[in-house]
């Protein structure tokens, strides 16, 4: 249900996006409204992460097919607002500055065997090593220890514990809820603890970012609204996500390797949504629009308005390119791990990559209207 409303909005917003704010807007207005959009996006992300945490606690308390299914559904729902917040990355803001929690929240791909048993290795991972005392601090410390794939926390670690490895060409992983039941699987007690701990940690980490964007506080947001570099940061965020991260890291690599290890949400087969929500998040920033979880829509002075003021053609080109990207991304069929190996699917993925590259180039041009000579879209 939820997915369809989101898509419906995406397409109707495309029609709306040309009827922007009347009259000139100031840079300060745009930075301030952006901060409002960011706060709303992280608040929704936090709300859905808490629902995920609650569903996980319920599942761990009484493992069953039903409680596992609702935890999985909560995970999928939580990814919808989160995916849109990735447009706020790549300029060393609260999410990914030197101390930012991004690596603990969304690191991927992960080496499953670092966390738990995998096919052929029953005793692998932190869960099966009873010497390791499980705690929030310990699991946070083990994240990215000894290699960028040694991921112990975040959405994708949770995803692996909820779905398990994906060996099914037509669907996601098929982990049994019995893995969490004493006597049914080795170290089930530790698996339960582990899942609960990383769900709690995820909520904490997202809460810390949301707090940094809260209105009327002495925090990052207060500084950002006054930052003369704010517009460039906004543009870098959406430029880098368009080109380097989404087109490059998340799609070109997978297309080249034809390997499911290279897809973003490989256990749940949710990668097609990751792509779409990222693309939507980029357009949210560009248009100064965001549809909240409750269906209400935020709308205000935007980068688009500012650029249009100086160079209407450049602004229209970016808007058109972003609409084209969303349309192309909606064409990608699930599961993504099959899209990248079958000829028709590969065409659809390639078309989305091309649309994103085009959009990134248009953003570089549009940035010039804001006085940004060489916008970095490479990460």
Binding residues for other proteins (CB under 8 A): 92, 96-98, 103, 109, 111, 113, 119-120, 144, 146-150, 165, 167, 243-244, 248-249, 252-253, 256-259, 261-262, 357, 360-361, 376, 378-379
CB of 45 to other proteins, least distance (A): 21
> What's the min distance (Å) between Cβ of 111 and other proteins?
5
Residues 6+ apart with CB under 8 A from 254: 262, 263, 336, 340, 349
CA distances from 161 to 95, 219, 246, 286 (A): 24, 35, 25, 36
CB nearer to other proteins: pick between 251 and 280: 251
Nearer to other proteins, 20 or 110 (CB): 110
Residue 369's nearest CA partner among 27, 10, 8 is 27
* Residue closest to 137 by CA, chosen among 153, 158, 155, 148: 153
- What is the closest distance, in whole angstroms, from the C-beta atom of residue 224 to other proteins in the complex? 16
Nearer to other proteins, 327 or 341 (CB): 341
- Give the residue with the Cβ less far from other proteins, 172 or 248: 248
Q: How far apart are CA 174 and CA 169, in angstroms?
A: 12
Residue-wise DSSP of 83-119: HHHGGG-SS--TTTSTT-SHHHHH--S--HHHHS-BT
Q: What is the closest distance, in whole angstroms, from the C-beta atom of residue 248 to other proteins in the complex?
A: 4
- Of 31 and 364, which has the nearer Cβ to other proteins? 364
**Alpha carbon distance, N-terminus to C-terminus of the chain:** 34
Closer residue to other proteins (CB): 103 or 331: 103
Residue 168 C-beta: closest distance to other proteins, Å: 12
The tokens for 197 are 């701990």
Contact 321, 249 (CB under 8 A): no
Residue 254 C-beta: closest distance to other proteins, Å: 9
């Amino acid at each position: 249900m939820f997915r369809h409303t989101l898509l419906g909005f995406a397409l109707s917003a495309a029609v709306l996006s040309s009827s922007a704010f009347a009259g000139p807007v100031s840079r300060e207005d745009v930075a301030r409204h952006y901060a409002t959009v960011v706060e709303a996006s992280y608040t929704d992300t936090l709300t859905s992460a808490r629902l995920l945490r609650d569903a996980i606690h319920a599942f761990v308390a009484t493992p069953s097919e039903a409680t596992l299914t609702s935890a999985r559904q909560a995970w999928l729902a939580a990814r919808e607002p989160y995916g849109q917040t990735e447009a706020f990355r790549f300029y060393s803001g609260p999410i990914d500055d030197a101390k930012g929690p991004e690596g603990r929240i969304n690191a991927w791909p992960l080496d499953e065997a670092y966390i738990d048993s995998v096919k052929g290795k029953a005793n692998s991972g932190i869960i099966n090593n009873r010497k390791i005392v499980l705690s929030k601090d310990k699991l946070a410390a083990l994240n990215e220890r000894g290699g960028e794939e040694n991921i112990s926390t975040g959405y994708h670690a949770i995803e692996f514990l909820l779905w398990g490895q994906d060996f099914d060409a037509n669907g996601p992983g098929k982990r049994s809820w019995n893995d969490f039941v004493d006597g049914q699987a080795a170290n089930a007690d530790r698996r339960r603890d582990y899942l609960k701990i990383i769900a709690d940690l995820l909520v904490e980490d997202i809460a810390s970012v949301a707090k940094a964007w809260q209105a009327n506080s002495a925090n990052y947001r207060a500084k950002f609204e006054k930052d003369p570099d704010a517009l460039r940061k906004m543009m870098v965020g959406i430029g880098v996500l368009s080109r380097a991260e989404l087109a490059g890291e998340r799609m070109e690599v997978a297309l080249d390797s034809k390997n499911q290890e290279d897809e973003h949400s490989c256990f749940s087969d949710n990668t097609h949504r990751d792509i779409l929500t990222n693309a939507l998040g980029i357009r949210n920033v560009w248009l100064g629009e965001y549809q909240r979880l409750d269906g209400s829509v935020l709308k205000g002075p935007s980068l688009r308005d500012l650029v249009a003021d100086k160079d209407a053609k450049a602004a229209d080109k970016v808007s058109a390119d972003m609409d084209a990207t969303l349309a192309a991304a909606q064409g990608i069929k699930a599961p993504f791990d099959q899209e990248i190996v079958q000829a028709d699917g590969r065409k659809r993925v390639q078309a989305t990559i091309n649309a994103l590259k085009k959009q990134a180039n248009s953003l570089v041009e549009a940035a010039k209207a804001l006085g940004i000579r060489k916008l970095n879209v490479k990460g």
